Amino acid sequence: MSELEFMSPVGSGHLSTSDGGISLEDISDCTKVLVRAGRGTAAGVHLKVTYGRSRRRRDGTLICGSRPDEWTLLAGPGQGAAVVGSVSDEGFVSIVDISHGRAMLRISGSDSVDVLAKVCNVDLADDMTPDGAVFSGSVAKVTCDLVRDDRDAGRSYLISCERSFGGYLFAAMADACAEFGINVPAGLSVH
Amino acid sequence: MSSQRLPTRAGELIDRSTSLSFTWNGRSFSGHEGDTIASALAAAGVEVFSRGMKYHRRRGILTADHWDPNLSVQVGDEPNVRAGSRRLVDGMQVSAQNAWPSLRWDLGTANQLVGRFLSAGFYYKTFMRPQFLWHNLYQRILRKFAPGGRVHWKTGTHGDYDKRYAHPDVLVAGGGPAGMAAALSAAEAGASVMLVEQEPELGGHLRWGGPDDLTVLADLREALYSTPGIEVLCDSIVTGRYDHNWVAVMQRSHPVVPERLIKARVGSLVVAPGLVERPYVFAGNDIPGVMLAGAVRRLINLWAVKPGSRAVVLSANAEGDAAVADLESAGVAVIAVLDARAGEDIVQVRGRGRVASVQTGDGRTLKADLLVTATGWSAPTSLLNMAGDRPVYDKVAARYFPQSLPDNVLATGGIEGDGSTAELAAHGRETGALAAQRALRLRHERRTQTARSVRPESTPPASVPDNRIPLRRSPHPECYRSTTHGLVDYSEDISSKDLIQAAGEGFDSIELMKRYTTVTMGPGQGKLETVNAAAVLAEVRALDLADIGTTVWRPPFSPVSLGALAGRIFEPVRRSALQDWHEANGATNLLAGQWVRPDHYGDPMAEATNVRENVGLIDVTPLGKLDLRGPDVANLLNLVYVNRWQKLEVGRVRYGAMVTEDGVVSDDGVTGRLADDHYLMTTTSSGAGAVWEMLEDWLQTYRPDWEVHVTPVTGGLTSINVAGPRSRDLLERLVEDVDLSADAFPYFSVRTGTVSGVQDCIIWRIGFTGELSYEIHVPSGYSLHVWESLVSSGSDLGVAPFGIEAQRILRLEKGHYIVGQDTDGLSKAPTAGLGGLVKLDKADTIGLPELRAAFERTDLPVLVGLQPDDPTIVPEEACQIVAAGSNEILGRVTSSRMSPTLERSICLAQVDPSLASAGTSVTVKLVDGRRITATVQEHHAHVDPEGARQRV
């Protein structure tokens, strides 16, 4: 199976402006593992992240406290087994590889906040949504999980949604980006 | 027409080095950058801009700003443009509205001849009889006279409107001196600020003031634009304030979109709209050349336009006095200044197309082409009303003031009181600081309560009492109406006479009068008219104005484009991982809820036949899938399904149906046990979300002690149904590690294995078609590979895709019901034929008491298989089943198709229990009214009721 290519639900790749104001990237192929662990389990203790916050593990895995007693672990493509294996399943713990079930986009750049403000009614001010913040919200009317995951000292957000909405969500985000200089490819229409 | 452009003025907004060309009613004109449409036309000598709504009298500039009721024009495709504030753009095509065939020669003036029939409430009294003429005649005629511009739907030049969200700590509505100062001090206090000004530039009345005002304005502007944390939106308007300080802002003049609706969740709202100068009611007050003092001051000082040659001024305040000075500085001969404070008055203006003479209260007739009135201001308290305030009238100051506001709404500036520029700015600064303090307290609280935020290290800012020094209320004479009658509402053509008549007819409360006469209901939403209307009513009823009350101002503060309200329309759609393949291979789609799905690939009957004879593939990804883990899953299943689940073995599958608390069938599906504590539940496609929510609801609230984790995996597992007598042959070519033989993998079993090299696929031996059938759940990132492998590996087996329509045919042949189609919101378990499934002796099941009651009843409808006696007729779904000799409804057809297998029509139907026995003949009333007979079948299934085909 190793030669099989992961098929993204987005299929539109990467859009960006030349001035770096906006970059919109499909990263649906990244590994996503959902961990649900009851209070007092080893998994809950070791993941060490509270609901609403995230931290990056030494191996690069981003651990997101996505809901009370629930974590989403994000890593590079093809690391599902390793990430699943890295979490203790002692006690009442569920570890589900949801890599295939979630589309994921990354939007970065100085205009990213303004783009998101067109499709998402969440206060993204630094004190309300600092780097590392994990939250849920409606993005272009799709229920999404978001993480502020700044890169190179610049704003960057991860947005994930149920896989089947991925193509639509990318089109909606590209549409929102158009105002800031993104050339939306023909056929990628939200309407 | 001669040029009325004045030499350079100190505060003028126009850039004389530019020249912008535009047309007005087809004629070419030019103006400058900074001109409004109205100022450019007025500078060119245009005096008439529109016609009145009812009587079509000529109308000229009245207020020369956003609220001018006489300056609504059509610009290209855009109707109802406010020419008093809309800036001129090169190439604009401007035309008058509400005039035909031309502004100069308008046939609508004939209405003046029948004016006495168009008085208050005329449309409640006329066009009533005969009733049949309403649709045929009256409506068409009235439509011809509808005021306003025209939207040309098909030209497509309107652009895309837009929306965005904002979360400023403080939103200041109004960019005059108080508003600017409030924004500044709020930002200095650490708040994020949005400052919204309806005119294209900040400054309010400072813009047309003297040198001192202009200096203050320049300083404030510089400070504003150099202070971080302030977003300034000019040419924008706060249109509404809603619960919890949800504030709507309409942003115009955006570089990308024509208009944008900003949905702002605001900590503190500062209302600083200034004051709106109100007209004076007297005979002839709508003749072009009658202007408010503010209008002439703006024309002269902002756009260097001379408003007339010989002026009479009626002044009750300093603004009128300043207008006199401005007029004189512009070279206008001020032939008389009537001081309303001293009781002087005007009673009538005469003129045709332009003021020609003014008759004063003391009997003089003065030749003039301009009458300027300065008779007071109205407080535009709309946003305060929307916050729950009921402003009160102050007889001394002759206007309304705020009374009681919630903590998160504050008022400042003219709406709050009077003062010098410095005093207004000082009040604004205090207000801004207080607003910021309150907003930052709220923000602190939100940060404390929001999981994702940075927890505040400090204690919340202390609550500060409102210690602002109130602005004074300067005395002002109550000048509303002269001894003559004139227009009160310029937009709706409502005169003081109309209002008096309405009061005489019994509509003597302000709210009733408003609705009966439509006064204040025009585009200005009462900004100019409300107080004058109330004053006329007070006069009629011999009451103080304070006792009359006001109408309640509701959103919008100013008219809003429907396009802007609609904005971007987001309608999410869902696509399976195989949808591109379907479309590339000839699928015709349908939209099932949010899912885009292949309905068929050209011939659904052939697709169904192929499943019966060979093997077909269908993408059933939308099928809801919930991963259930934990030691209490069986308990949960036992609770939510009507049947038993405690003894389901690993590797086995069971069908289950759910009912609601009232016993109505809500969902169904199969659940397989993959491991001791690991199950996979399937739901209907449309019910996936609701079932997930229901399970979480039970686990989080009613059974928190149960250890079950529910994870939705619908999109992550692409579901492929491989159906047909040759399906096992096909799968055996691709499945590597699962024995597919009937003995090793019997009906209603589930296995995990590798399909076409893709590991962790879940293979079910189930189906909806009645054939030997497998359902493969494949990790979606690899599912296209599996699908294509199935297609390519099975060409010799006759493999072909089939769509939803073929599946509907096949399942109907097999008699499988669909929740929501063959059942409805009243269908209890017995109706759906679940008698054998429901276990009434279980300790607990959702809806159990209702189920017990339902099974004791004998009157519930019954779902039956039905076949029309004429096999060529397919009754439409929802056709009624009626009594033979009458229209008494005894049931309905819930599903119907032509069966390619049986070559006849087949149905499922809900019927009265008296008709449910096999062999009963029923009457079906077709859509066209014909009646046919049909026979109730022994089984739901029309094909293979014994299930032999699927159990091989």
Write out pLDDT tens, residues B313-340.
Answer: 999 999 999 999 999 999 999 999 999 9
Give the other-Cβ count within 10 Å of A154's Cβ. 12
Are the Cβ atoms of B452 and A128 closer than 8 angstroms?
Answer: yes
Confidence of residue B149 (pLDDT cuts 50, 70, 90): confident
Same domain, A109 and A135: yes
Query: Do residues A58 and A47 both lie within one domain?
Result: yes
> What local confidence, expressed as pLDDT, does residue B541 receive?
95
Assess whether A88 and A109 both reside in one domain.
no
Percent of chain B with pLDDT over 90: 86
Task: Provide the residue type at B627 as one letter.
Answer: D
Tens-place pLDDT, residues B665-706: 999 999 999 999 999 999 999 999 999 999 999 999 999 999
Contacts of B167 in chain A (CB under 8 A): 123, 125, 128
Asked if B9 and B32 touch (Cβ cutoff 8 Å), the reply is: no
> How would residue B142 be classed by pLDDT, with cut points 50, 70 and 90?
confident
Strands A134-139 and A142-148: antiparallel
Query: What is the predicted pLDDT for the residue at B158?
Result: 64
> Do residues A94 and A37 both lie within one domain?
yes
Residue at A142 is within a domain: yes
Q: CA B326 to CA B813: how far, in whole Å? A: 89
Does some domain include residue A78?
yes
Q: Which of A102-106, B154-158, B824-828 has the highest mean pLDDT?
A: A102-106
Please report the pLDDT score of residue A187 as a whole number: 79
* Residue closest to A134 by CA, chosen among A168, A163, A160: A160
pLDDT band for B185, please (50, 70, 90 cuts).
very high
Q: Which of the listed residues A44, A64, A99 is the one where a domain comes to its end?
A: A99
How is residue B496 written in tokens? 């003081």
* Smallest Cα distance from A9 to chain B, Å: 6
- Cβ neighbours of residue B500 under 8 Å, at least 6 residues apart? B536, B540
Residue A190: inside a domain, yes or no?
Answer: no
The lowest-confidence range among B299-303, B439-443, B561-565 is B561-565
Chain B contact present for A169, CB below 8 A: yes
Mean pLDDT of the region B25-29: 96
Q: Do residues A42 and A70 both lie within one domain?
A: yes
Per-residue pLDDT tens for B793-816?
Answer: 999 999 999 999 999 999 999 999
Between CA B845 and CA B644 the distance in angstroms is: 10
* Domain boundaries, position A82: 31-99
* A126 contacts on B by Cβ (under 8 Å): 454
Average pLDDT over every residue of B185-196: 98
Q: CA B337, CA B311: separation in Å to the nearest integer?
A: 9
Domains of chain B in sequence order? 162-275+381-449 (3.50.50.60), 480-560 (1.10.10), 617-811 (3.30.1360.120), 858-952 (2.40.30.110)
pLDDT tier at B592 (50, 70, 90 boundaries)?
very high
Hey, are the CB atoms on B569 and A100 less than 8 Å from each other? no
Residues 6+ apart with CB under 8 A from B830: B854, B855, B857, B860, B862
Q: Determine the distance in angstroms separating the CA of A49 from the nearest CA of chain B, rounded to an integer.
A: 11
For residue B557, pLDDT beyond 60? yes
- The pTM assigned to this predicted structure is 0.91
CA dihedral B217, B220, B221, B224 (to 10 degrees): -160
Examine the domain organization and report whether A87 and A120 are in the same domain. Answer: no
- How many of the other CB atoms lie within 10 Å of CB of B879? 21
Last residue of a domain, one of A68, A99, A130: A99
B570:A141 CB<8 A: yes
Q: pLDDT-derived band of residue B1, with 50, 70 and 90 as boundaries?
A: low
Q: Give the pairing of strands B494-495 and B487-489.
A: antiparallel
Residues of chain B found within 8 Å of residue A125, distances taken between Cβ atoms:
167, 192
What's the pLDDT band for B255 if we cut at 50, 70, 90?
confident
Q: How far apart are CA B723 and CA B606, in angstroms?
A: 14
Looking at chain B from residue 679 to 718, which residues have their Cβ under 8 Å from any Cβ of chain A?
707, 709, 711-717
User: Nearest CB to A167: which of B569, B575, B707?
Assistant: B575
Looking at chain B from residue 591 to 620, which residues have their Cβ under 8 Å from any Cβ of chain A?
595
Q: For residue B459, what are its two tokens?
A: 């204690």
Query: What would you measure as the largest C-alpha separation in chain A, in angstroms?
Result: 52
Q: Which residues pair with B198 in a beta bridge?
A: none
Q: With CB atoms and an 8 Å threshold, state whether B713 touches A50.
A: no
The mean pLDDT of B506-514, rounded to a whole number, is: 94
Distance from CA of A58 to the nearest CA of B (A): 22
The answer to whether the Cβ–Cβ distance between B575 and A119 falls below 8 Å is: no
Q: Cβ of B452 under 8 Å from any chain A Cβ?
A: yes
Same domain, A59 and A109: no
Same domain, A21 and A41: no
Least confident of A7-16, B146-155, B440-449, B779-788: B146-155
Mean pLDDT throughout B251-276? Answer: 93
The whole-number average pLDDT for the span B195-204 is 95
**Using an 8 Å Cβ cutoff, are B376 and B277 in contact?**
yes
In terms of domains, do A39 and A88 share one?
A: yes
For residue A87, what are the CA distances in angstroms to A45, A61, B190?
A: 11, 12, 43
Q: Does A162 touch chain B (CB under 8 A)?
A: yes
Give pLDDT tens digits for B89-134. 999 999 999 888 888 888 878 777 777 777 777 777 777 778 888 8
Residues in chain A with CB shorter than 8 Å from the CB of B715 are: 9, 101-102, 162-165
Number of H helices, E strands in chain B: 23, 48
Phi, psi of B73 (to 5 degrees): -130, 170
Residue A89 sits in the same domain as residue A105:
no
Instruction: Report the number of distinct structural domains present in chain A.
Output: 2
* CA-based nearest residue in chain A for residue B453: A128
Asked if B627 and A134 come within 8 Å (Cβ–Cβ), the reply is: no
Instruction: Summarize the confidence of residues B463-484 as an average pLDDT.
Output: 95
Secondary structure (3-state) at B515: helix
- Mean pLDDT for B65-71 is 96
- Cβ count near A100 (within 10 Å): 26
Q: B577 φ, ψ to 5°?
A: -65, -15
Q: Which of B15-24, B457-466, B864-873 has the lowest mean pLDDT?
A: B457-466
If you count residue pairs, one on A and one on B, with CB atoms under 8 Å apart, how many are there?
A: 155
Q: Answer with the one of A99, A124, A141 that is the final residue of a domain.
A: A99
B chain contacts of residue A50, beta-carbon cutoff 8 Å: 451
Q: What is the CATH number of the domain that holds A149?
A: 3.30.1360.120
Q: What is the pLDDT of residues B523-543, one digit of tens each?
A: 888 999 999 999 999 999 999
Same domain, yes or no: A111 and A156: yes
A79 touches chain B (CB under 8 A): no
**B450 to A128: CB separation less than 8 angstroms, yes or no:** yes
Of B89-93, B103-107, B508-512, B778-782, the range with the lowest mean pLDDT is B103-107
Q: Could you read off the pLDDT tens digit of each residue along chain A, which spans 191 residues? A: 457 889 999 977 899 999 889 999 999 999 999 999 987 899 988 998 999 999 999 999 999 999 999 999 999 999 999 999 999 999 999 999 999 999 999 999 999 999 999 999 999 999 999 999 999 999 999 999 999 999 988 999 999 999 999 999 999 999 999 999 999 888 787 76
Q: Nearest chain B residue to A91 by CA: give it.
A: B630
Beta bridge partners of B763: B751, B776
Does A6 contact B781 at a Cβ distance shorter than 8 Å?
yes
Predicted complex ipTM: 0.96
pLDDT at B157: 60
Judge whether B198 and B249 are in contact, CB under 8 Å. Answer: no
If phi over 0 gives left and psi between -120 and 50 gives alpha, with beta otherwise, what is residue B107?
Answer: alpha
Q: Mark whether A104 and A25 lie in a shared domain.
A: yes
Q: How confident is the model at residue B712 (pLDDT cuts 50, 70, 90)?
A: very high
Instruction: Specify the pLDDT at position B811.
Output: 97
**Total residues found in chain B within this entry:** 952
Write b or e for each residue in B904-913: b if 16 or more Cβ atoms lie within 10 A of its Cβ, otherwise e.
Answer: bbbbbbbbbb
Which site among A7, A32, A164 would you substitute to test the B interface, given the most B Cβ atoms closer than 10 Å to its Cβ? A164
